[in-house]
Structure formats: structure tokens, C-alpha cells
Amino acid sequence: MSSLVAIGFSAFLALSSASSLVASEVIRAGDLVTPGNATADTGVAVSLDEPVVGREARRTIYAGQPVTMDNTRPARLVARNQIVTVKYIAGGLEISTTGRAMGEAALNEPVTVLNLQSRQLVQGIVQENGWVLAQ
């Protein structure tokens, strides 16, 4: 039993000694976390390979508050009512049109798009450059 307590205590020390990110200025909801608006709690500059950098704040994070995976989300590439390119690709055939996004989505997330020509709703997956691959 005492060995479990010792292991738990050492794990706690390891986690508490690891540096975490805090906001160096106000990060508004929807803004991206960057090395400019977040620092390590030790005051050291944040590198771009930090997992939270590049994510979007879910809510306003005030200076000095922690920046975590829980209060951020993947950056949205498509916003509601945004005009997007919709592509259908099958073999050598590629059909491309424009549509209006009915919701917001990040990379590889599903989104519903209103085809502006046919007025039909199409389901698709957001791709790297913000276009939607129709299914």
C-alpha cells in the first residue's frame, strides 16, 4: 500500500513540476493561441511545437489564467455561412462547385453545406485548405 502512495506522490510531483502555459495577455474566444499571447508559467517563451499553440480559445482566457486543451479546441477552418468550395472526387472525375456552410468545422470534421446551384444540402469533410470533400 505504501508503495502505491509513493508512486502516486512521485507522479504528482512530476506533473506539478512540468511547466504549463498561461495567457500573457487576454485571449478572446475564437482567437488562436500563439507564442505571442501565451508563455510558460516559468516565464520561458513558448515554442511552436507546444500542443496548445495553434488551437482556438473556446472562451475568453484572461492574462495569468492557464491555457489548456480543455479551454481550447482545434482551429476552425470553416465558419457558419462562409462560402466554401465543395468537391466531389471519384476516380478521375472531379466536380467542383460553391456552397454555404451551415455550421463551423475544423480539419477533418464533418460539415453540412448548402449547394448554391441546386439548393441541396450536402455532407462533407473539411480539408486542409478549407474546401469541403463531399461524400
Residues in the chain: 135
Task: Write the DSSP string, 44-101.
Answer: PPPPTTSTTTT-EESS-B-TTSEE-STTEEPPEEE-TT-EEEEEEEETTEEEEEEEEE
pLDDT per residue rounded down to tens, the chain (135 residues): 444 444 444 444 334 434 588 999 999 999 999 988 998 877 777 777 788 999 999 999 999 999 999 999 999 999 999 999 999 999 999 999 999 999 999 999 999 999 999 999 999 999 999 999 997
Rg, C-alpha atoms of the chain: 21
Q: How far apart are CA 84 and CA 130, in angstroms?
A: 7
Residue 33 DSSP label:
P
